[in-house]
Amino acid sequence: MAVPTPVPAPVPLPELDGPAPAAPPRATAAPLVTYLLIAVSALVLLTGPSFGLNPHWGTGQDRVCAEQRFEQRWGAVPVELLAHRPLDALQLAAVPPAAGCTLTPSPGKVPVLSVLTSLFVHAGWLHLLGNMLFLYVFGPAVEQRLGRLRFLLFYVGIGYLATYGYALTQADTAASVRALVGASGAIAGVLGGYLRLYPRARVTTLVPVLLFLPLRFPAWLVLGLWFLLQWWSVGSAVPGVAYVAHVIGFTAGWLAVWAAGLRPRRRTGRTAADTLAPSPHTGAEE
């Protein structure tokens, strides 16, 4: 006959003074889409003619002409988007050329796809840094809330909406035959989405009128003032900056996040928006 094994009585745990320790925070997924967008944009600049690093594009005047042809080939041209066909030789003759440069037609160009390629083409390293800085600052927080796939679709979709909106406003202007390059419309959408998701997050910014003293302001103030500045600048005569694309992108980004049913949230601890950075400016150059 088997003898049952005695079960030891449970040993009482010592009581802890104060509240129980909080559970360890859940690991946050790395913002891979944000990093990928930055990496592809940087790679395009480094291998293209704008940066001057690739000897394939030549030097001096040859590189200047190659840069203009590159932007015209891979940038989004309003007339092409509205007519659904690339510019012919007669239309290209109306494009203000760089000194001594000649533009030739791009028969293989697909205008609707040029919107996508234009998001990764930038007119020099300053243009690239101005855009990618704010994608790096605000993108991870938005990607975290939307998820990687939805954030990628959000970024590209807002870019298309802002670019086509810009094309419609430039249909009867001299800028209708000039290429629009840069991701400013899409990044403005990221800023709008961030404002919807984290309106009370503290953003560290440099204030020029106070000798660039770093100060912390709520996101609704910083991004709200940025949006008003873009709106006010739409009718300005500043060349090379697509302010209307900023306004469309920012508005569409805010509305898209609102339509997705994501509620504003208070962020705790160090956030992406706590990065020291100048006031947001995402100038898409032509």
pLDDT along the chain (286 residues), means of 10: 41 40 58 97 93 82 88 94 91 78 87 96 91 94 95 98 95 87 96 94 62 64 89 75 94 96 66 35 34
SS3 per residue for 141-210: HHHHHHCHHHHHHHHHHHHHHHHHHHHHHCCCCHHHHCCECCCHHHHHHHHHHHHHHCCCCEEEEEEHHH
Please give the Cα distance from 8 to 83 (Å, whole number).
Answer: 84
State the pLDDT at residue 5. Answer: 40
State the pLDDT at residue 64. Answer: 86
State the pLDDT at residue 159. Answer: 97
State the pLDDT at residue 37. Answer: 98
Please give the Cα distance from 23 to 266 (Å, whole number).
Answer: 19
Please give the Cα distance from 208 to 21 (Å, whole number).
Answer: 44
State the pLDDT at residue 207. Answer: 53
Strand 277-278: give its sheet, edge to edge.
Answer: 213-218, 202-207, 277-278
* Selection from 80, 67, 82 nearest residue 107 by Cα: 80
Angle 206-222-283 (CA atoms, 0-180°, nearest 5)? Answer: 80
Rounded to two decimals, what is the model's pTM?
Answer: 0.80
Is the torsion defined by CA of 107, 109, 112, 118 positive or negative? negative
Please give the Cα distance from 184 to 195 (Å, whole number).
Answer: 16
